Every structure is written in structure tokens, then in C-alpha cells.
Chains A and B, each alone.
Chain A
Amino acid sequence: MVPVVLTPAVLACKAVVAVLLVAAGGAKLADLPGFAASVSLFLPGTTARRPARTVAAGIAAGEIMAGAASLSSPRASWLNLVVLAICCGFVAVSAAGYRWHRGRSCRCLGALSRRRFNLAGLGRSVLIALGAGLATAPVAAAAIQLGPADRIGLLAGALLVAAAAFSAAAAVGRGAQDAQPGWA
């Protein structure tokens, strides 16, 4: 059990990482072709549209579901491990992207972010994974005791964030895009 003074930090890490997952998933859904292109970077030999898009849609939907579930069910400690595993996946992808696809857009937040595979991106994903790791620390049951109405409210909030991220990413995606490194 973490000390009481650290409880807010643990809870904040859990909530922020969950909201981040939901927003990232929503934004990715709005830019499936772009994200599918990023996915195909890591699927050797799979450049056909359908597999890459299917995997991309699966990842985006999975992020939303994992984030929403983690946010609205704080007592399910196994969800913390699922989120931690996802975040470790981000670190692995960032490291592989930094190693083999440096400078290309990662589309980690769909069109919302112009981030590319670079050292800063790798650092950010490590930071998120550390946050997810801290969120696995056990806290007092009273701090995470939610009623059904609370859980439904958080779930609705998570879906609202996903919808807002989708809308914002779709709006941003309809503007001119930063050119890919190949144009430089």
C-alpha cells in the first residue's frame, strides 16, 4: 500500500494515462489511413490496405476500451496491468520507430499531433509508461470506492473525450498537413 501522501499522485497517474489512451484512440480513429500507414511500418510485408487498416482500427478501439474501462473501474487492478502493457508497447514502438523510421510521423495522436519518431517521442512514451507503472501501486480502497452512478459518469466522460478527440482530429486533418520528411 502506498503512503497516504502519495495516493493522489498514484490516482492522478492512473486517471491521466487512462484519459490519454481514450483521447489517443479517438484521434486515431479519425485518421485511420494515416495511422494505418504508421502501422504498416511495423508489419513487414503487410502493405495491403485491409490488414493495416484492420490492425489500426483494432489498436484505436482497444485504446479507447482500455482507457475507458481503466478510468471507470479503478478497483479492477488487472486493468492497471493491461494499461501498463499497452504503455510498454508504446515504448517498444517508439524505440523501433526511432531506430528504423526516424523522422516519420508516428500519428500517435492522429492528426492532433505532428510528433515524429525521435528521441523526445521515446522519452515521452517512457514517461507515460512510468506513470502507468506508478498507477499499478495499491491504494486505500476508500480512495477508489465508486458507486454505479460515479462509474457511469466517468464512462460517459471518457466517451465524450473520445468523441471530442475524434472531432478535433478530423478538423485538424482537413487542413494542410506538415510535409513528410521525403519532401524536405
Chain B
Amino acid sequence: MIRIPEYLAVAQWALLGALGVLVVIMFRQLGRLLTGAAKTAELGPPVGGKAAALTYARPGDPAERRLAPGEGQPLLLAFVDPTCPSCEDLVGVLGQLQAAGELASLRALLLISDPPSYLQISDVFSSTGIEIGRPVRPAGLDYYRVSATPLLVAIDDAGVVRAAGSVVRPADVRAFAQSCLLPAPEAALAVVPAVAGRGEDEQ
């Protein structure tokens, strides 16, 4: 009979256990991505409601600025953090749309909760030309229900939320940007749930 060292048997079980756990994690995530069930509950403001005002400051500038939806300019708010990989994807897509002139008719704003110094950690964040702000008061944040990031919120010129959800695909982000420019009856996007791969819908 072949006798294997005790340690080899123990180590093999440890490796097998770790692999088993990792496979379960991957399958669970695959299921979430396929069903679009990832963290959509309680995410984002109610579509059709009047958006709340926010107070924010730009990185490196302590002056407080007030963001008041409904003052005649459509808004595209992205609640993102430099430490979130999907947020990097969303900011990258927004940058592409801006470079293509597709955000010219609205005001896009990246809102972060991480310290401004974290912007340097991400190439995408540190090089984006989109305005960045960090909320300085909790007032108004509850309304947006940022339970997960990235969260994109489209607000029309009357201050009504037209779309809200966690999206990163260019087609979805473009649809969000367009939804806040359309007349109310046509801007009927619901909360878009899933975060999916970048560039999948590009033709």
C-alpha cells in the first residue's frame, strides 16, 4: 500500500477546499450577471420623482457648490469611486461619449465619496475631463440611495429623474444620456439593473 505523507493529504484538502469556495463564488457571480439581480434593490432614486439638491466641492477647491436639479439644464449624475473597477468602466464610457460630443447638451458630473487624493490612483479618473465633485453634506444623499456603485442618474431639465441604475455598457449609458433630453412621455426608461461588460453593445 502506498502511504502518502500526512502533510500532503492535509495540503491537498486545503487546496481543494479553496478551489471549491472560489468556484462557488464564480458561479454565484455568473448567475447574478446573467439574471441582472445584482444589488438592484434599494438602488437609486425613484424614477419619475423630483430630484433632490446636493452640495458638493471640487477636488482641491473647498468652496461649496450647490447642485439644484430643475434649473433648466439636464443632468447626468454618476455616483462613482476610483476604488471601484466598474466605476472606472463607466467613467471611461462617459469620457468617450463626451469626446464624441454626445454629452454636449447636458451637464455631466462625477460624484465621488472617496477622498480626492484617490483620484490619482486611477488613470481613468485622473485624466477625465468631466467635472468631479464630492458631496460635502449628507443632506440629499439619502434621496439618491447610493447603496452600490456605479450608479448613474439621468435628470431632465425640469428636475425629474428619468432613469437610474447601475450601468456601464456604452449603449445603456447613451440611453441614459438621451433620456434626460427627451420630452417626458418618451423618456420612459426604468431602473436599469445589471452591470455588464464594457463594449458589448457596440456595433
Contacts and interface: CB of A to CB of B under 8 A. Distances in A.
Contacts of A89: none
5 contacts: A47-B121, A49-B121, A150-B4, A158-B15, A160-B19
Q: How large is the interface on A (under 10, 10 to 19, 20 to 34, 35 or more residues)?
A: 35 or more
B1 interface: no
B12 A175 contact: no
A8 B10 contact: yes
Contacts of B81: 177, 180
Interface of A: 7-8, 11-12, 14-16, 18-20, 22-23, 31, 33-34, 36-38, 40, 47-49, 52-53, 71, 74, 105, 107, 111-112, 142-146, 150, 154, 157-158, 160-161, 164-165, 167-168, 171-183
Contacts of B43: 176
Interface string B181-197: 00000000000000101
A174 B197 contact: yes
B123 A49 contact: yes
Interface centre among A47, A52, A112 (most CB of B within 10 A): A47
B33 interface: yes
Contacts of B11: 11, 15, 18-19, 71, 74, 154, 157
Nearest to A12: B10
Nearest to B142: A184
Interface string B84-95: 111111000000
Interface of B: 4-8, 10-15, 17-19, 22-23, 25-26, 29-30, 32-33, 38-39, 43, 79, 81-89, 113-114, 117-118, 120-123, 126, 135, 141, 146-150, 166, 195, 197
A172 B14 contact: no
B113 A183 contact: yes
Contacts of A105: 83
A178 B148 contact: yes
Nearest to A150: B8
Given A37-B114, A175-B39, A176-B43, A168 B18 contact: no
Contact of A11 (B6, B19, B126): B6
